[in-house]
Structure 1
Amino acid sequence: MKNTKVYKSDFFSQNLYFIVVFAGLLSLMSCAASKTETWQWEKIEAKGEPTARHEAGMVAYKNKILLMGGRRINPTDVFDTENKIWTAKASTPIEIHHFQPVVVDDAVYIIGGMTGQWPNETPLDRVVVYYPEKDEYVYSHEIPEHRRRGGAGVVAHNGKIYVVGGITKGHMNGYQPWFDVYDPKTGEWKVLPDAPGSRDHFHAAVASNKLYAFAGRKTSKKTGQDMALTNTYGNVYDFEKNEWLKVTDDLAIPTQRAGNAAFVWKNEVIVGGGESIAHEVAHNEVQAYNIKTKTWRNWPSMIQGRHGTGYVIVDDYVYMAAGSGNRGGGPELTTIERLKLPSETDESVAVASTNFTEIRKQWHTVELNFEGPKTSEDAADNPFLNYLLQVEFKNEETNYTIRGFYAADGNASESSADQGNIWSVRFTPEELGDWTYSAVLYHQDNIALKNDVATAEKISISNATGGFKVVASDKEGVDFRAHGRLVASNGYYKFTGSDKYWMKVGANSPENLLGYVDFDDTYRMEASNEEGEASTTNEIHSYPLHLKDWKTGDPTWKDGKGKALIGALNYLASTGMNSVYFLTMNILGDGKDVWPYAKPDEFNRFDVSKLEQWEIVFRHMQSKGLLLHIVLQETENETLLDGGDTGPLRQLYLNELMARFGHHLALNWNLGEENGPAHWSPLGQNDAQRKAMAKFIKESDAYNHPVLLHTHAQDPLRSDILDSIVGYKYVDGLSLQQEERTETSEVIERWKKKSEAAGNEWLITMDEIGKWYQGAVLDSEDPTHDSLRKYVLWGTLLSGGAGVEWYFGAKHPHNDLNSEDWRERNRLWQITNHARVFFEEYLPFWQMKPEHSLVNIEEAYCFREKGEVYALFLPDTKEATINLLEEEGEFQVHWFDPVNGGELQLGSVTTLSAGAVRELGVPPTTKGTKHDDWVCLLKKI
């Protein structure tokens, strides 16, 4: 459903059900306010005090607290919680610090710690055991030399001790993802699979048969990054499955820090204290991750920020003592404080209250999972047709109703599950502040296709209501989460978050990008060698040459699958490209290897695990600044669903894609490749069907993503279709195909003017340059790409185009269907990136119009904001002039090299006076590749 604004004056005209829910939340809010006012840490006035220390260990033994180790050799201080007395006991046999102690039976085990002086500490070579009843330290088993490290997370589980992470070379370097299990009875040491990420200076915790490792850092004094490399994401190990789980966005800790402590209470893993480069004072924030809802909330902050110590639970309280009050080595503390632990009632009230202490980030995906009825992809009661999950998200003035989807077991990308009881929703909040959500799962025959849910059955689901607070995004650079959502605005792309305009450049091939060997149930239905399209074999994409571009920390699925495709996208993003064009269904089309369905001949059941694996790739693309150019169909299959109508099968297809992927910030919905009938594919959609499809998407997409139409390559076939749709409010623009590259500028300018005159200025991107069999060939065939650079790249952008993508043709190596290596066109990406940088750094291009006639050179282009700036592409600069008769004042003259890029340069003429036709002078002498074309920039002084 469409995003709508809800203001206070008409709030209570909304659906009665949600009014009741909201009233209930207000009631809980009131209860929570009175209860949480007194929920705070208290300082304990004790008899005596412990030895001041940090990088120490704390552990509970029976009803007492043991404070152990730390810098220097210190006594073991014991705190009697009942009588509030500190007592000094035996000292450690050597200096021991940077460890997380654990209790097994009647002993405290110290493992994964360090000894020695900063910054070249050494790991312990033996397990040290303390027996509280005897007040005695002893050395136990030797730690294997190749697994020694300090600053590790350590937990006891089922009588064994697990060690994760740590660092091998003190504070210099050597942080590790290692994971081991030690049997304290036998001394057996077993190496387990590495964690997804390296970390040190943290505490681990066990909850519900899973190990949780949050926060910490990768300490690297050797590179001057002692505290800078804090970990964003946590890692989770499932003891039952014996595997590390996929790293998901919900595992991102709200406050990054190291030297933190951790403990578990009921359904939450709580992380508190720590140090970071954020501020000198140690962290006092305490944040809790709910392992059921996979959300974060704040617990009360501690009175004293501290790091290098631990949490212990005794009776109904959690305690913390000692540690360092600032980042680094001091001041070392002797105080102790405690917090009353919430009961089941307290916990539920605190989570449901509109204190909204579950922290989310603006423009980051909020993914919520709900436990509902168990079913399967092939169940007789079709979960895709007969169930409808709707989740309403509200903040003060905004209301979104977002469609959810069936998610099998909630981990299908890893498990390949086709059954389970998890239903999910993905939402991207744009507003800061407090949000509530309310979810309803409806059940009725074909309810997924109905707008009226009044008579449908409501199915009970877990976690149906809740709230969260949205804070500012912490992303930067090209990551779209740093800028907001891309929408169509006045013929260009614009970020809703920053109001910044954006120029699209990228890859149009391979169109069957998702026909990839590592996706579940992906294969080629049949090879093809038909005239008019690229030839295929039975082999699908594996992108082996891009495997080297995958980086540690990048996503994978199913024990390392996906690396080559992720690597390919890394490479493309590294060249400055920001868009990738791909089909989500090519049944009957050229590649015959991409579809979202469980079976390619059954169009009402979807492959959950495959789509979850697509989602992993899409999220990575967004983090790398790559727009998802989603092409919904090919010309050969336009009538495959409902004969071309937007009937039940097409609606279901579109709804599933929008529910699963519509939350992404940078996304185009492309109505279809070469949309409309042609002599080689006469069964195309007609005008009414095309309009109905566009209208359905626009009215169903909560986020108003641009809807584009991919065109035919020639007139009058192309213009016959476009004349019927120009001005139609549900189509935002054209994904242009153009056969003759020399005509690119004229075609774009013509349709820009027509759409503007019709009252809906189109966003036009030049996405498929012809001829069909050639396109953009390899660098080895065309090292400078002269005609593409002159007529297509600069001709498009200086004529009002919103971007370009490069199509690889059908009859050259690495073509539109079989391309495996984007490096084969590395020079083309470089040349394209030069143009993008020029436009984004030097031009207010969204305010400019083409006026090519102002330049006297044939095949030159002129783009101007009258009275302010002119950008000229000159294929030849000899005797070039610019008509400034309409202008006044002085203009500064700079030159830009379209082949080699770089900074603006000065030529023989540095300023021009307006009011006449002026010569532009001679551009600077270029080094390297010889070329005649230059870009001239005039800016009003």
Structure 2
Amino acid sequence: MKMIHSVFKKIGIMKQSFHLQYILLVIIGFVLLQSCEDNWKWETVTAKGTPTARHEAGLVAFKDKILLIGGRRINPTDEFDTKTNTWTAKSPTPIELHHFQPVVVGDAVYLIGAMTGKWPNEKPLDKVIIYYPDEDRYEYSHTIPKDRRRGGAGAVYYNNKIYLVGGITNGHVDGYKPWFDVYDPKTGEWFVLPDAPDARDHFQAAVANNKLYAFAGRRTSKKTDQDMALTSSHGNVYNFESNKWEAVTENLRITTERAGNSAFAWNNEIVIGGGESLAHEIAHSEVEAYNSKTRTWRNWPSLNQGRHGSGFAIVGEYVYTASGSGNRGGGPELTTIERLKLPTDLGDKSDEFVDLTPVYKQWHTVTLSFEGPQTSEKAADNPFLNYRLDVVFKHAETQDTIRGFYAADGNASETGADKGNIWKVRFSPSLKGDWSYSADLYHKDSIALKGNLKQAESIAISNKEGRFSVIESDKDGLDFRANGILEASKGYFRFRDSKKYWMKGGANSPENLLAYIDFDDTYRLKTSNKDGEASTTEEIHAYPNHLKDWKEGDPTWKNEKGKSLIGALNYLASKGMNAVYFLTMNILGDGKDVWPYTDSETFDRFDVSKLAQWEIVFKHMQSKGIMLHVVLQETENETMLDGGDTGPLRQLYYRELIARYGHHLGLIWNLGEENGSAPWSLIAQNDRQRKDMAKFLKETDPYKHPVLLHTHSEDPHRSVILDSILGFKYLDGLSLQQSEREHAGEIVETWKSKAKAVNQDWLITMDEIGLWHTAALPDDKDPNHNTLRRYALWGTLLSGGAGVEWYFGAKHPHNDLTSEDWRQRDRLWELTNYATGFFQDHLPYWEMEPEHKLINSKDAYCFRKKGDIYAIYIAAPGRHTINLKETEGMFTLQWFDPLQGGELQNGTVEKVIGGGITALGGPKSKNKQDWVCLIKKINDKK
């Protein structure tokens, strides 16, 4: 300050106003600061010798040396002596190693979370590799668990352990992960920790003040031609003291999005430098620092040479970087080395606004908790009936009102609590951008059922209003959170946002999937041995044979309960299945072992802990791409609530399910199994009651999930019911049951045609194929499921069906109620996956219609988009022809094997011409089996 005043005196302004002095003080201060910044910059080091040019390598400080390890190809280990500025070549890596962040532990450098091999199909390492610099020696160490191997991950050393976060499992193709693990370098023990909030790869992590920071990176997806497009916008923070990931907030938004960056911690700052992105071809030179105390960003001096695929290394009072690629992608590979003198300040001086707005992701569930009055499941003042939580979510383009629910202590899945003061809401935002919400808790007798809130009491709650932002989803593949909500469109399933179509294939049994021993208060009311249904014992499901399918990192509850059911769903997903049918209430029904209530006789009180445990399973199903086929009742209990009306008990039941589970993206509401009257089920709902149910579900569900009706298996019982509901706008289609499999395709086509006649595109899936006592037998009884494959699978799909589910029958082991092991039908899942995969990969099936008469065989099905594409199933070899009089031009002809799947194969005829009847020839294979022929129009445009 004395220096500044002397400057004022020299230029003759000491007598000027204080205000002017202040302005000049600011200006001069800025000039002095700018002068300091000009002097703080990276310098390119003049070195003796040069390292091997490389990128995607590891750079790390070891004592007073800098080690450059790995990179594309097998390279020598280059050592830089910071005292003499000399490069020396050491031993090469034992294999090609790249995309890793090296970690120093004692006298060794650990290489973990790395890849090997060529772009884009690199493979992750199966073992930890250790380099001993003093001995110039590499060795293989502990095996990395098979299900946790990945490359491009961030690695840090903290409290004698190595922590690995993020990474990608399948080179640059796909498989980016939010995984988080801890590895003990002494013992080799490996533990899976909770996933990070965001998936990312191609980045580096750092630790400051007992927290791990993961900034930058991307979600590499060559599979979708998004190699560099999906850069991560926000960082993640793991608190080692609380052992939890902190909530993602706007202050964690990185200033410059990039991947392939370097990172290190200095004082209170996490420094991010270099990298690559689509912003420009030249690699990033920006260096930016996030202060872990002030939670703000500031700029550090930019690199002289932008680079990615390298690292930072601190030796003495300098940070160094070397090597890398000067442009995005593979080159030019650099040999230069730079250094920057490290600042002595802590970077803590900031008056910036810290934006703590929560950040969520598109289509991911936003769960908000509110503290309200203390109550319980059994309170005289019923919390399910006499309280109502409404939450209004607003976006510039839309507004959604979502009903909340009573959640006891807010953690009932773990505590089993039946009391507490927490209400929750679950919401899946479909739009990116800024959102706000406002919540109101109302109290009045039966307010949960009534629309008029004017006379209700408004109850004070916490967290009543708030804001959050929504960014792009970080999920990929089959996870519904990568695609959005499923709807019914043109007689098929389609993702509402992306407009992609989706074909269903899955399990219809066991229908009492949720009668599971690890769910709270779940048991069988009584055993049964009736004609027409499966026999039961006192035992409910335990799924012991699927315990081995549970994977580290998968969810559990109450000290590792739930593993076998989660494992069973893992297995089914691994076979390519994407749907499971299950009852949520079978009181009076076949199993008598599933209900959402606190007991089987009280229909206005819900078991909060059980339903919270169901949610854990449902959430996992959605992450695996498995649709929730929610069947609301059985034929035996369809009049149990309100005599079949949509009265107070049924409304409350539906509202609870919608509030707790409606946020899931892949979900069907099924009005009930075998709904309606039949000779064996005379006490049943009538046409008005069916329509009231469908209308209530459609109008109450804010997500408008498809509503289907499960049918009887034969006409006229089926047609009497369906004819009366044709044209009803609140019903999206049928969950079809058919007793004789030979007529499966015919029945699908019949009801689709009837619906079209009244201007409806009914979505029809074949969900229960008979005969009722045998249905889909285990593989050892029916190895290739010949008639199911022919009639129920290909016959259904090639007749316009939107998918299939397999019913297990009632009168043999592993049946519809007692099945414990989905592997009993391993082959059936494979055959189903071949068929649904063929439709997804090769057909615009939503634009196609059945026209079986085009083929000269009664043992064939034909599905076609007129004049463009024809898919033909032929049951047996023969001289088959197709009538192409309806079109002209040249077509290619290939064959698909429904028994083995795989690629399309050329046959004895490779091209056909439209305008007449033409022979199909056949596959070159000599196997006498069924085949699928694909005929596609050759586009004449050059």
Tell me whether the two structures share a fold, i.e. TM-score over 0.5.
Answer: yes
Q: Distance in 2 between matches of 1:448 and 1:422?
A: 17
| Matched residue, 1:296 | 249
- Give the SS at the match of 1:593: coil
Alignment partner of 2:165 out of 197, 210, 217 = 217
Question: Does residue 936 of the first structure (1) align with residue 927 of the second (2)?
Answer: no
| Matched residue, 1:328 | 311
Shift of 1:328: 2.2
| Matched residue, 2:764 | 764
Gaps of at least 5 residues in structure 1 are: 1-41, 53-68, 75-111, 122-147, 151-168, 178-198, 206-212, 237-244, 352-356
Are the aligned partners of 2:859 and 2:875 in contact in 1 as well (CA < 8 Å)? yes
CA 1:470–1:276: 2 relative to 1, 3 Å: closer
Alignment partner of 1:307 out of 248, 263, 270 = 263
CA 1:445–1:203: 2 relative to 1, 3 Å: farther
| Matched residue, 2:327 | none
Are the aligned partners of 1:867 and 1:887 in contact in 2 as well (CA < 8 Å)? yes
CA 1:610–1:596: 2 relative to 1, 3 Å: same
CA 1:248–1:365: 2 relative to 1, 3 Å: farther
Q: Distance in 1 between matches of 2:592 and 2:800?
A: 35
**Which TM-score applies when normalising by structure 1?**
0.73
Q: Distance in 1 between matches of 2:756 and 2:884?
A: 26
Gaps of at least 5 residues in structure 2 are: 1-32, 44-59, 66-102, 113-127, 131-137, 147-152, 183-190, 221-227, 270-290, 313-319, 322-338
Shift of 1:71: 3.6
| Matched residue, 1:396 | 396
Q: Give % identity.
A: 54
| Matched residue, 1:562 | 562
Higher relative contact order (CA 8 A, sep 6+): 1
Q: Distance in 2 between matches of 1:867 and 1:316?
A: 67
CA 1:780–1:626: 2 relative to 1, 3 Å: same
| Matched residue, 2:594 | 594
User: Equivalent residues in 2 for 1:369-448 (5 A)?
Assistant: 369-448=369-448
Q: Distance in 2 between matches of 1:50 and 1:913?
A: 71
Question: Does residue 72 of the first structure (1) align with residue 69 of the second (2)?
Answer: no
User: Equivalent residues in 2 for 1:10-159 (5 A)?
Assistant: 71-72=62-63, 114-119=105-110
Question: Does residue 537 of the first structure (1) align with residue 528 of the second (2)?
Answer: no
- Give the SS at the match of 2:592: coil
The residue identity in structure 1 corresponding to 2:107 is G
CA 1:881–1:116: 2 relative to 1, 3 Å: same
CA 1:214–1:693: 2 relative to 1, 3 Å: farther
Are the aligned partners of 1:629 and 1:667 in contact in 2 as well (CA < 8 Å)? yes
Q: For each residue in 1:452-505, what CA deviation from the matched residue of structure 2 results, as whole angstroms up to 9, or x when unmatched?
A: 212222222222222222221121111111111110001110011221111111
- Give the SS at the match of 1:723: helix
Aligned-pair Cα RMSD in Å: 4.2
Q: Distance in 1 between matches of 2:371 and 2:246?
A: 10
Q: Distance in 1 between matches of 2:158 and 2:447?
A: 45
- Give the SS at the match of 1:541: coil
User: Equivalent residues in 2 for 1:541-556 (5 A)?
Assistant: 541-556=541-556
Q: What is the aligned residue count?
A: 754
Shift of 1:631: 0.3
Q: For each residue in 1:821-845, what CA deviation from the matched residue of structure 2 results, as whole angstroms up to 9, or x when unmatched?
A: 1111111111111111111111111
Q: Distance in 1 between matches of 2:714 and 2:490?
A: 26
**Which TM-score applies when normalising by structure 2?**
0.73
The residue identity in structure 2 corresponding to 1:298 is N
Q: Distance in 2 between matches of 1:549 and 1:860?
A: 39
Question: Does residue 498 of the first structure (1) align with residue 498 of the second (2)?
Answer: yes
| Matched residue, 2:648 | 648
Q: For each residue in 1:351-388, what CA deviation from the matched residue of structure 2 results, as whole angstroms up to 9, or x when unmatched?
A: 4xxxxx43211111111112222221111111111111
Q: For each residue in 1:19-67, what CA deviation from the matched residue of structure 2 results, as whole angstroms up to 9, or x when unmatched?
A: xxxxxxxxxxxxxxxxxxxxxxx99969999999xxxxxxxxxxxxxxx
| Matched residue, 1:261 | 207
CA 1:630–1:285: 2 relative to 1, 3 Å: closer
Shift of 1:896: 1.4
Q: For each residue in 1:493-523, what CA deviation from the matched residue of structure 2 results, as whole angstroms up to 9, or x when unmatched?
A: 0011221111111110000001011111111
Are the aligned partners of 1:359 and 1:471 in contact in 2 as well (CA < 8 Å)? yes
Are the aligned partners of 1:387 and 1:444 in contact in 2 as well (CA < 8 Å)? yes
User: Equivalent residues in 2 for 1:645-724 (5 A)?
Assistant: 645-724=645-724
CA 1:73–1:749: 2 relative to 1, 3 Å: same
Are the aligned partners of 2:885 and 2:915 in contact in 1 as well (CA < 8 Å)? yes
Are the aligned partners of 2:178 and 2:198 in contact in 1 as well (CA < 8 Å)? yes
- Give the SS at the match of 1:790: helix
Are the aligned partners of 1:909 and 1:921 in contact in 2 as well (CA < 8 Å)? yes
Are the aligned partners of 2:166 and 2:200 in contact in 1 as well (CA < 8 Å)? no
Q: Distance in 2 between matches of 1:214 and 1:454?
A: 58
CA 1:627–1:311: 2 relative to 1, 3 Å: farther
Q: Distance in 1 between matches of 2:233 and 2:931?
A: 58
Alignment partner of 1:201 out of 155, 165, 168 = 155
Q: Distance in 2 between matches of 1:260 and 1:284?
A: 17
Are the aligned partners of 1:869 and 1:937 in contact in 2 as well (CA < 8 Å)? yes
Which moved further from structure 2: 308-317 or 723-732? 308-317
The residue identity in structure 2 corresponding to 1:938 is I
CA 1:50–1:866: 2 relative to 1, 3 Å: closer
Q: Distance in 2 between matches of 1:729 and 1:801?
A: 20
CA 1:594–1:890: 2 relative to 1, 3 Å: same
Shift of 1:787: 0.9
Shift of 1:216: 4.4
CA 1:73–1:528: 2 relative to 1, 3 Å: same
Are the aligned partners of 1:798 and 1:862 in contact in 2 as well (CA < 8 Å)? yes
CA 1:616–1:224: 2 relative to 1, 3 Å: closer
- Give the SS at the match of 1:752: helix
Q: Distance in 1 between matches of 2:857 and 2:838?
A: 21
Q: Distance in 1 between matches of 2:811 and 2:920?
A: 42
CA 1:302–1:261: 2 relative to 1, 3 Å: farther
The residue identity in structure 2 corresponding to 1:402 is I
The residue identity in structure 1 corresponding to 2:265 is T
Are the aligned partners of 2:584 and 2:594 in contact in 1 as well (CA < 8 Å)? yes
Q: Distance in 2 between matches of 1:889 and 1:528?
A: 62
| Matched residue, 1:814 | 814
CA 1:51–1:901: 2 relative to 1, 3 Å: closer
Q: For each residue in 1:137-191, what CA deviation from the matched residue of structure 2 results, as whole angstroms up to 9, or x when unmatched?
A: xxxxxxxxxxx999xxxxxxxxxxxxxxxxxx999767799xxxxxxxxxxxxxx
| Matched residue, 1:10 | none
Q: Distance in 2 between matches of 1:803 and 1:617?
A: 23
| Matched residue, 1:637 | 637
Shift of 1:650: 0.4
CA 1:252–1:610: 2 relative to 1, 3 Å: farther
User: Equivalent residues in 2 for 1:723-742 (5 A)?
Assistant: 723-742=723-742
CA 1:231–1:578: 2 relative to 1, 3 Å: closer
CA 1:654–1:926: 2 relative to 1, 3 Å: farther
Shift of 1:118: 3.1
